[in-house]
Structure 1
């Protein structure tokens, strides 16, 4: 590299020159770099225990619990060659339920021991962060992807993402991927760059034309790490005439919470009329199937999933108003099963 820049035949590696190597080590000692431990390799081929007789290694494995013994066998290639795969098949993902818990514990231990792996609780597999990151750029560069029909979108994302399982407990948006969320949180805990993974968790739809009375709408969803937890915020923005707003349930589906306890809540704003004076006073009325009008709350919170919702209005002039339907949800740290841990204080 240096030879091409300077025109001289300078070697690529100067470490084999004693004088240069000594100066390099002295510089490292001054800066304290030699005191910094080297990062642990992702995959170990040899172990310091390889110098120990095989009988002693087998004796150590026999006194370990089942999960720790399996982890010890998978610690490196050399140990696995000595001990073999005994007891590993008995705790596989397709074994009887009692062993399935052992399998989850095994994957959790392997995840903690490897800086590159995350345990996916949806498909019960270990996903590699290093293998997933190079493919994620395709989600941002292939803008034609969003013009495909849902079937082809599903096929394309399944070939790019590490896991296509949709979490049954955490439904942030239709393209939310729990495995990517776990990867982002693990890189965050390691102090590494995680912005690419967070961008893949965002969601945006094109502006949709509604009926002439309701204007247009825009759906957004974004991820952000706050403290040690993953925070999701999704929002639907509606631009409507200010005189009289009518939003149909078919055109603007707004159901941020999918819990059974919240099915009776009116999140669709079906057949909702909001004149100007009610907008300015933040009064909301709903009319469903000819039933009497009931006042709706500006803020609401699901006691099951702790998702908080809020409605806001803003006058834009020229007889137009913007309606902001916003939902917040705070997820776990991503170390284990991705789950909701609580609500978020809204400001």
Structure 2
């Protein structure tokens, strides 16, 4: 808005500088530009309406400024009596022809947002810019840029990268996992594209079972505004579950935690495999485990020929050693390690722990994670340089460099893992719980 004020003052001085000896101020009521009696055909009103009060699509002065104090209004992020958006702007002093001339220099997305900043500009510019954007929204990047400008000033909406629509935060529950199957069975055509895309890249499985791209954006936006996002945390928190692989006598358990650190959403996933004490921990018997790390590792880890398979083979070869080796994907912000422990006569536990950095909801970190080997991203991303400097995702999440991954499980989670083998339970005192 400061740039717009300077731009408008330049045009004002360029066209009317020779007629005015006094400096031009937005409150100069003697200025001919603000008088409507000398311009009977002018569309400007004597008392321009409050742009912020008349429209929720007003453009804020500073999109990066902190959110207003809403402690007295917990249900509304906007002020009860917002200030007049035109009182301090040179825009109120310009005649319609100058406003039209300014709009002709703007990009289509900026011109569409400019026409919505107040009733005065909407009356002058009409709806031609909005109509032009809406006519080709399905294939035009200009429409997406226009929505980006609007989303900055709409505290209760987020712009979905996949749907290319504004999603209301109050509708967050409709983008959760509970509605995915309903969309798929009852209304497949009405399923939001972000849910369809999540199903295509298997984010419900590779990231975690409750992950939703739309809810992720909503939660991070509320955090940036300093608002309460506890309900969205509940929708996004992973659900722990266990299963039994009968053919291989494996007990498998998935455990997840999410945490926001330095404005970024971090995720820790743990896949624990409990095997009978008489079973050998050999490489040929483990493909059925189906370790999942990211799209670049494949679905079955031992069959992957790259660094993931090598790391797995090194760990299997020395599985009885207390070896800690943190590995990292070369294409996305994922770190992982394998750990194993023999519980005496109670079995063998193999643990895969993965740490993910899903970003701040605005960067391409999540897109990089879900890109797979499709060629969208290649090489080593610049963000991973911090791995060389010791600032690992694991260290950010755990607040320690080499955590004991087995102590991260609670006593209830250990009992869930032994649910299908109660005879192997070593007792509550055996485990060090966090």
**What is the TM-score when the length of structure 2 is the normalising length?**
0.52
The CA deviation at 1:156 is: 7.8
Give 2:358's match in structure 1, choosing from 315, 319, 331.
Answer: 331
The CA deviation at 1:106 is: 1.6
SS at match of 2:287: coil
The CA deviation at 1:320 is: 1.8
Worse-matched range after superposition: 111-120 or 68-77: 68-77
Partner Cα separation in structure 1 for residue 150 and residue 238 of structure 2:
31
Aligned to 1:26: none
Aligned to 2:293: 256
**Deviations 1:46-68 (CA, angstroms, capped at 9, x unpaired):** 97589889836545534543222
SS at match of 1:164: helix
Worse-matched range after superposition: 330-339 or 190-199: 330-339
1:302 aligns with 2:329: yes
Change over 3 Å in CA distance of 1:299–1:242 after alignment to 2: farther
Structure 1 gap segments, 5+ residues each = 1-32, 284-296
Counterpart contact for 1:237–1:323, Cα < 8 Å: yes
**Deviations 1:305-343 (CA, angstroms, capped at 9, x unpaired):** 131111122344442232221111212211255445546
Counterpart contact for 1:221–1:234, Cα < 8 Å: yes
Change over 3 Å in CA distance of 1:123–1:66 after alignment to 2: same
Partner Cα separation in structure 2 for residue 153 and residue 325 of structure 1:
33
Aligned to 1:198: 233
1:215 aligns with 2:220: no
1:344 aligns with 2:393: yes
Give 1:164's match in structure 2, choosing from 182, 195, 220.
Answer: 195
Aligned to 1:181: 216
Aligned to 1:4: none
Aligned to 1:245: 281
Change over 3 Å in CA distance of 1:236–1:80 after alignment to 2: farther
What root-mean-square deviation, in Å, do the aligned CA atoms of Structure 1 and Structure 2 show? Answer: 4.6
Partner Cα separation in structure 1 for residue 217 and residue 193 of structure 2:
11
Give 1:108's match in structure 2, choosing from 148, 151, 155.
Answer: 148
The CA deviation at 1:80 is: 4.2
Q: Which has the higher strand share?
A: 1
**Deviations 1:134-181 (CA, angstroms, capped at 9, x unpaired):** x57x86xx7xx9xxxx96584489889894143559752365321111
Partner Cα separation in structure 1 for residue 229 and residue 192 of structure 2:
16
Counterpart contact for 1:313–1:323, Cα < 8 Å: yes
Q: Which has the higher helix share?
A: 2
The CA deviation at 1:267 is: 5.7
Structure 2 gap segments, 5+ residues each = 1-68, 369-382, 385-391, 396-400, 402-434
Show the 5 A alignment for 1:72-91.
72-75=114-117, 80=122, 83-91=125-133
Counterpart contact for 2:267–2:355, Cα < 8 Å: yes
**Deviations 1:258-294 (CA, angstroms, capped at 9, x unpaired):** 127994248689x99x99x9432158xxxxxxxxxxx
**Deviations 1:49-107 (CA, angstroms, capped at 9, x unpaired):** 8988983654553454322211122346775465333133443595596xx33223222
Counterpart contact for 1:309–1:326, Cα < 8 Å: yes
Change over 3 Å in CA distance of 1:40–1:72 after alignment to 2: farther
Change over 3 Å in CA distance of 1:313–1:125 after alignment to 2: same
Partner Cα separation in structure 1 for residue 135 and residue 347 of structure 2:
56
Partner Cα separation in structure 2 for residue 93 and residue 309 of structure 1:
47
Aligned to 2:349: 322
Number of residue-to-residue matches in the alignment: 284
Partner Cα separation in structure 2 for residue 323 and residue 157 of structure 1:
41
